[in-house]
Amino acid sequence: MPSAAWAWDMLRENMDYRHDCIDGLKYSPKMVELESGCRLLIGNRRYEKARKWGLLFFVDPDLNAMEADVFWKPSYYPATVHVRLGRPQDDTQTDNRNFGRTSDTVMLQEFCCRKTLFESINGSRHIVLKSRRYWFQLYCDSPHPIDDKALVEFRVDGGLHSNKRMKSIHQIIALHRSRGGKLSQIGYRRNTERLQKYLIALRAKRDGGDYRDIAIALMGEEYVNMEWGDGHSALKQQVRRIYKNAEEYRNGKYLSLLE
């Protein structure tokens, strides 16, 4: 999964976040289905409590990363790309844009993936493009079309993490050109085996398990029966370390996955 999806899966295991959601979800953004099938979420307030978790608004923790419409605060997610969203009929006819080749333009409605828009109360537009292999987030702080019939122009700066944003732009363009086809240039090679272990440990504990139950969930009952022992076995120490690291990610270190 993309790093942003791993971060969400860690956060949804946090019981304090789940508690905050009890009230926070009452004021969820209004959802509008656009003609293209894209979802537009319209915020009606500043979701201050959600921002302390790194989110633009509260999201139901019972939904996994592909089901949930998660928007990370750009300040926590430095790969977020700043864009301008223009009206195609206006922008492709002025300034000899793209040297006159309108086929070279990037159109928001043409992305073949799960696409969600969020309109904040201050009028800024946030966009998430995602699948099981990738997760891109864009934001626009200038006037823009109300729907997804928009031409996307990327704004590049030389600030901190600009290399991450440049990589995102390169991959977003590849995604647009593929029209849902093979994406050889998009993928995440981070070693996620340890993150899988952390999630398994957290969920086993949440379901009422102890360290032995966590070990069984990770390594199988037959192996645990042989290696657990009566004293302080190496396996016990290993499981304790895994759960301690898992707690750190659940309790805030998940944000480091977005960096």
In angstroms, the first-to-last Cα distance of the chain is 15
Give the pLDDT confidence of 135-157 residue by residue, as tens digits: 999 999 999 999 999 999 999 88
What's the average model confidence in pLDDT over 216-231? 86
- Does residue 240 carry a pLDDT above 60? yes
Give the pLDDT confidence of 98-116 residue by residue, as tens digits: 544 445 789 999 998 899 9
Same domain for 142 and 234?
no
The answer to the question of residue 21 being in a domain is: yes
pLDDT band at 93 (very low <50, low <70, confident <90, very high): low
User: What is the pLDDT at residue 226?
Assistant: 87
For residue 128, give Cα distances in angstroms to 31, 71, 172, 177, 203: 15, 7, 11, 17, 27
Percent of the chain with pLDDT over 90: 69
The answer to the question of residue 24 being in a domain is: yes
Q: Check residues 182 and 65 and name the one with the higher pLDDT.
A: 65
User: What is the pLDDT at residue 233?
Assistant: 83
- Does residue 17 carry a pLDDT above 90? yes
DSSP codes, the chain:
--HHHHHHHHHTT-HHHHHHHHHHGGGPPEEEE-TTS-EEEE--S--HHHHTTTBSS---TTS-TTTS---B-TTT-TTPEEEEEE-HHHHTTSTTGGGG-GGGS-BGGG--SEEEEEE-TTS-EEEEEE-SS-EEEEEE-S---SSS--EEEEE---STTHHHHHHHHHHHHHHHHHTTS--TT-------HHHHHHHHHHHHHHTT--HHHHHHHHH-HHHHHHH--SS--HHHHHHHHHHHHHHHHHTTGGGGGG-
Same domain for 145 and 201?
no
Same domain for 173 and 201?
no
The answer to the question of residue 166 being in a domain is: yes
The answer to the question of residue 242 being in a domain is: yes
The count of domains in the chain is: 2
Same domain for 224 and 159?
no
Same domain for 149 and 27?
yes
Give the pLDDT confidence of 116-130 residue by residue, as tens digits: 999 999 999 999 999
Which of 155-159, 202-206, 226-230 has the least mean pLDDT?
Answer: 226-230
Which of 7-11, 172-176, 181-185 has the least mean pLDDT?
Answer: 181-185
Range of the domain at 161: 3-178
- Does residue 96 carry a pLDDT above 60? no
User: What is the pLDDT at residue 232?
Assistant: 67
pLDDT band at 189 (very low <50, low <70, confident <90, very high): low
The answer to the question of residue 188 being in a domain is: no
What's the average model confidence in pLDDT over 234-257? 95
